[in-house]
Amino acid sequence: MFFNYFSNMKKLSLLILVIFAFTSCNKEGVKIDDSISFSDVKTQFYSDIIVIIEYDVTVEGNPIFRESGTIITVDPEVSYFNHKVKNEEEFKENVSINLSVEAETQYYVRPYVITFEDTVYGDVQSFMSGSYFKDGNGVSDASGNNYETIILGNQEWMAENLKSSQYCNGDSIPFSVNDTIYFERYNEAQSVYYDYDTSNFNTYGMMYSGYAILDSRNICPCGWSVPTSYDWDELFTYLGNNKFVGGKMKSTGVLEDGTGLWESPNGLANNLSGFTALPGGYQVSPSSFYGKNSYGNFTFINANESQPFVQMISIDYIRGQIHVLNNNNSSGMYVRCIKDA
């Protein structure tokens, strides 16, 4: 099912992509007991986003093996009851396990072997995971607006809402300054400020009707596009595909104490993704706007049907979850463009 964030969580927990900033290595063999010992326990880079835990196991005698693997946890007091990644085989002398974790978190790993007589552990190794994102190269639209961009996995996204008054080819996007003009263009492409207020444009960018978003002339910078449902799916999977994804995307701080734009409590917000989602709300009708400071809404093109249509992903001020909202083509929506693959 589209945007099924809560299914297969156990399976996906080992697929989140992160950058590891620490490599540790214990070259000295550590004798645990008279029959089993671990050596060359180390973490090393596989790529910018996946780390490999490796170690060797030396066995003396003929113990009967039940289970082996690696414990990975945020708890410095590593024990068998922490999260375990079991080896596919009951026992291997040379172990190599790919592990992925949450960003910017201290982790502890420890190999183990269980026999019918005992549970044997290797030394604890620790590392600090890195960031989900890298800074992109930035992009400019047809109107000359410059945007910061971020790289998340295999995607590059704008880190700001679109503000362009022109399509990629230079044609103007009609702009409505009040509800009367907006209503006259109700079934046409157009753009608008939230509440028709210029100060909202400076903070949140421009909102566009679905007709403008679906226009083949492309409201995004050339080489960039309005994201599809598949683009959002890929991003959410990269960020963990769970109830915390929205929190990883929201800007931090709250309106009440002057530290941010969201209403309190701005639940679970940490902006670990660098996406910096702002609570700009959306336009319901020519004269009705809703959700400023409470909801961050971003449009996408649902490409699952024969006739594409626009919808929005929504993040609220209370939780860190993602919701999908329907909207009609005559209403105004914010856009985050994605670089073409």
Give the burial class of 306: count Cβ atoms within 10 A of its Cβ; 0-12 exposed, 13-18 middle, 19 or more buried: exposed
Give Cβ neighbours of residue 255 (< 8 Å, ≥ 6 apart): 261, 262, 263, 264, 293
User: What residue segments make up the domains of the chain, in order of their start?
Assistant: 18-128, 133-339
Tell me what pLDDT residue 21 has: 31
pLDDT digits (tens, 9 = 90+) for 171-216: 999 999 999 999 999 999 999 999 999 999 999 999 999 999 999 9
* CB 24 within 8 Å of CB 42: yes
Task: Report which residue type is found at 329.
Answer: N
Tell me what pLDDT residue 11 has: 34
Print pLDDT tens along the chain (341 aa): 444 433 333 333 333 333 233 333 333 333 334 588 999 888 776 655 567 888 999 988 888 888 889 999 999 999 888 999 988 776 778 888 888 778 888 899 999 999 888 899 998 988 888 788 999 999 999 999 999 999 999 999 999 999 999 999 999 999 999 999 999 999 999 999 999 999 999 999 999 999 999 999 999 999 999 999 999 999 998 888 888 999 999 999 999 999 999 999 999 999 999 999 999 999 999 999 999 999 999 999 997 777 889 999 999 999 988 999 998 899 999 999 999 99
Tell me what pLDDT residue 45 has: 64
Tell me what pLDDT residue 300 has: 96
How far is it, in rounded angstroms, from Cα 186 to Cα 197? 19
pTM: 0.79
pLDDT digits (tens, 9 = 90+) for 258-306: 999 999 999 999 999 999 999 999 999 999 999 999 999 999 999 777 7
The CATH T-level fold of domain 18-128 is Immunoglobulin-like (2.60.40)
